[in-house]
């Protein structure tokens, strides 16, 4: 009886402790961050300390982290979101982000990251990838075309060059695609026409050749379409009859010839032309 009572007390104590302790970041993820901080050269810096509760960081801190703390009966957190902006890192993009298994949202905009997107990243299940304003270069990373869970991709203002591969058609979940201000060239790929979930497409300030693919006119979810600075070949304005959700249409400096189709007047939500 005494023994039973005792184990009962122990059980109550244990459950009291497991339920009252705030959830902790998974040990392995702390190690992964350590490795990433080391690669970025900030491991020794006080403001990048891994001792504080990173899952509860605020927008004002050096790194903004969000976690899901529902693991192991609400005792363990895993990182779901990381945002590191304007920190002037000139290293390569750390491969280790792949080891954050629940990471969905990664924003490394306005740093000075170099190289390309590591091929290892193809295994990540990201929905949002923001790499705006870095110094990434080389051909359009084929790794991206394997990251089919992406709904949001922004690589504005990097040094990528060459053609956009047809395989971009694989990224069927994309809702936002921003490729502007790189050194891309060649014709705009027909693969864009397969991205039927696109709501926002921005292709400005590169060296693409016209024409504007007429297949754009089947992307019926488009709300914002901005294509500019197409060289060499003239374009006729694609039919926008079916793009009834369009709010912003910018087709600047695209060597457009011919008349403006009548259907443009029928778009109910169009505000910027």
Shortest approach of ligand NAG to residue 119 CB, angstroms?
A: 20
What is the pairing mode between strands 64-70 and 76-83? Answer: antiparallel
Q: What is the DSSP string of 188-248?
A: PPGGGGG-TT-SEEEE-SSEEESPPPGGGGG-TT-SEEEEE--BSS-EEPPP-TT-TT--E
269 sits near ligand NAG (criterion: CB under 6 A) = no
213, 236 Cβ separation under 8 angstroms: no
For residue 114, the surrounding DSSP H or E stretch is strand 114-115
Can you read off the two tokens belonging to residue 248?
């912003």
Which residues inside 3-22 make contact with ligand NAG, applying CB under 6 A? 22
223, 200 Cβ separation under 8 angstroms: yes
Shortest approach of ligand NAG to residue 117 CB, angstroms?
A: 19
90 sits near ligand NAG (criterion: CB under 6 A) = yes
194 sits near ligand NAG (criterion: CB under 6 A) = yes
Shortest approach of ligand NAG to residue 78 CB, angstroms?
A: 8
Find all residues with CB under 8 Å of 15, minimum gap 6, and list them.
none
Shortest approach of ligand NAG to residue 255 CB, angstroms?
A: 26
Q: How many other C-beta atoms are found inside a 10 Å radius of the C-beta of residue 85? A: 16
Q: Which is nearer to ligand NAG, 181 or 249 (CB)?
A: 181
88 sits near ligand NAG (criterion: CB under 6 A) = yes
92 sits near ligand NAG (criterion: CB under 6 A) = no
Shortest approach of ligand NAG to residue 272 CB, angstroms?
A: 29
Shortest approach of ligand NAG to residue 16 CB, angstroms?
A: 14
Shortest approach of ligand NAG to residue 199 CB, angstroms?
A: 19
- Kindly write out the interface string for residues 38-67 of this chain, putting x where it contacts ligand NAG by CB under 6 A and - elsewhere: ---------------x--x-----------
207, 185 Cβ separation under 8 angstroms: yes
SS3 for 87?
coil
68 sits near ligand NAG (criterion: CB under 6 A) = yes
Q: Which is nearer to ligand NAG, 22 or 138 (CB)?
A: 22
74 sits near ligand NAG (criterion: CB under 6 A) = yes
70 sits near ligand NAG (criterion: CB under 6 A) = yes
* Sheet strands side by side (includes 207-209): 114-115, 135-139, 159-162, 183-187, 207-209
Query: Which residue's Cβ lies closest to ligand NAG?
Result: 88
Q: What's the Cα-to-Cα distance from 223 to each of 169, 247, 269, rounded to whole Å?
A: 19, 5, 9
Name the residues that contact ligand NAG, by CB under 6 A.
22, 53, 56, 68, 70, 73-74, 86, 88, 90, 110, 112, 169-170, 194
């Amino acid at each position: 009886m005494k023994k039973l009572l005792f184990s009962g007390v122990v059980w109550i104590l244990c459950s009291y402790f497991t339920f009252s302790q705030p959830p902790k970041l998974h040990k392995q993820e702390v190690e992964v961050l350590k490795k990433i901080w080391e690669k970025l050269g900030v491991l020794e810096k006080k403001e990048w300390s891994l001792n504080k509760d990173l899952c509860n960081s605020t927008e004002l801190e050096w790194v903004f982290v969000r976690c899901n703390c529902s693991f192991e009966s609400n005792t363990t957190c895993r990182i779901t979101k990381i945002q590191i902006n304007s920190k002037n890192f000139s290293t390569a993009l750390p491969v280790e982000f792949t080891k954050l298994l629940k990471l969905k949202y990664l924003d490394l905009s306005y740093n000075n990251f170099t190289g390309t997107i590591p091929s290892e990243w193809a295994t990540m299940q990201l929905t949002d990838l923001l790499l705006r304003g870095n110094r990434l270069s080389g051909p359009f990373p084929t790794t991206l075309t394997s990251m089919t869970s992406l709904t949001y991709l922004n690589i504005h203002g990097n040094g990528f060059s060459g053609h956009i591969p047809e395989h971009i058609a694989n990224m069927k979940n994309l809702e936002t695609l921003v490729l502007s201000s790189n050194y891309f060239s060649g014709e705009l790929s027909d693969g864009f026409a397969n991205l039927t979930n696109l709501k926002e497409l921005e292709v400005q300030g590169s060296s693409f050749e016209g024409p504007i693919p007429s297949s754009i006119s089947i992307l019926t979810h488009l709300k914002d379409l901005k294509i500019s600075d197409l060289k060499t070949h003239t374009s006729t304005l694609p039919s926008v009859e079916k793009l009834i959700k369009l709010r912003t249409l910018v087709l600047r400096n695209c060597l457009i010839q011919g008349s403006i189709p009548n259907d443009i007047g029928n778009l109910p939500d169009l505000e910027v032309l």
